[in-house]
Structure 1
Amino acid sequence: MSGNIVARRYAKALFTVGMKQGAAELETYGTQLAGLAGALAESPEAMRFFRNPVFSVEEKKAVLKQITSQLGVSQMLVNFVSLLADKSRLDSLPGIAEDFGAMLDEKNGIVSGKLVTAVNLSDARKVELKERLEKQTGKKLVLDFGTDADILGGVVLQIGDSVLDASLRAQLNILKETIKRGE
């Protein structure tokens, strides 16, 4: 989740409305909100336009209407971004989308994580590790795999806020500290 309190509040408000309307609508809002935030992220000049106080709220709403109609966004989401324009909060849209996505993942029992190894893993090994971790956590995982030769061996696993550093580098550092203390 983003660290922006304003974004979190707006995301929570939209999430609450979506929950009342049903799971299908909630998923639709998440998809459309992510699409809208992605479109704005690809166009930095649009974000500069929305941040610029020289342009009136009505001008910003007119541009938003064009963008949302091209993306096929639902009327509820059009109303939501119109409210953001009224409150001069359009610059918070990427954070709102990020927080909304995190809330949706939490509701669906999906946890994001990253697994770093010293060498590239085969696709079969990645699938095997992911399945094993899903069984242990009891949740569906979305894992990013990465490599870092500096860990020397083993793995560094981050799931949510938890980090498991089972790398050779970490073990050597522990050994080094133990030797320093004379234990």
Structure 2
Amino acid sequence: MSEAVVAKRYADALFQLGEEKAILEQLHQELNIVHEVFQGNEQLFTFLKHPRINNERKKELLVEAFAGLSTDALNTIKLLVDRRRTEIIPSIIDHFVQLVNDAQGTAEATVYSVRELSEAERQQLEQTLVKRYSKNKFKLNNVVDPSIIGGIKIRIGNKIIDGSVSGKLDRIKRDIVTAN
């Protein structure tokens, strides 16, 4: 079974657990912290994958590292250690966050611009995206990228809306090359 399918199943189970216990938002916040730790620490993955370190020792480290987590989140991570599935933890969290966002009518977008967007620009862009995509709210992550020259590029999931100057120049370049 592919890792994506397995990750989705764990995420679905966590989501259902969060709904049943009415701790969905708490799990969402806790798992975001876990995701940041796993993304920023390659040594943790190496430790958790090491075949000579027994699972009890790995779980002890995780209990110490994530002492403030709820028992449900911590037990899920410990279960993944027992089943030798620690490499899919970030993928599980990504699927879980998507499920929570879908349930709340929220979407996440990454906005690339040459400078930091002002609060008024962020609000206007968020309102436009809310109307266009029929969502309750958009969480915008602004990334400053001088290589786009001007305009903005928006990434929502796997969809990219490119209104940047560099994107327009690339399209013109492709048109010229294909015309010859």
Give the TM-score normalised by structure 1.
0.76
| CA distance in structure 2 between the partners assigned to 1:97 and 1:53 by the alignment | 24
What fraction of aligned residue pairs are identical, expressed as a percent? 27
How many angstroms does 1:47 deviate by? 2.4
Indicate the SS of the match to 2:61. Answer: helix
Indicate the SS of the match to 1:32. Answer: helix
Aligned to 2:18: 18
| CA distance in structure 2 between the partners assigned to 1:120 and 1:153 by the alignment | 12
How many angstroms does 1:77 deviate by? 2.2
Equivalent AA in structure 1 for residue 60 of structure 2:
A
**What is the RMSD computed on CA atoms of the aligned residues?**
2.9
Kept in 2, the 8 Å contact 1:41–1:47? The answer is: no
Kept in 1, the 8 Å contact 2:113–2:152? The answer is: yes
1:45 and 2:43 equivalent? Answer: yes
1:95 and 2:65 equivalent? Answer: no
Give the TM-score normalised by structure 2.
0.77
**Aligned pair partner of 1:143 in 134, 140, 143:** 140
| CA distance in structure 1 between the partners assigned to 2:176 and 2:42 by the alignment | 51
How many angstroms does 1:172 deviate by? 5.3
Kept in 2, the 8 Å contact 1:61–1:82? The answer is: yes
1:155 and 2:152 equivalent? Answer: yes
Aligned to 1:122: 118
Q: Pick closer, same or farther for the CA change 1:10–1:128 going to 2, 3 Å.
A: same
Higher CA-based Rg: 1
Indicate the SS of the match to 1:31. Answer: helix
How many pairs are equivalent? 176
Q: Which sections of structure 1, spanning at least 5 residues, go unmatched?
A: none
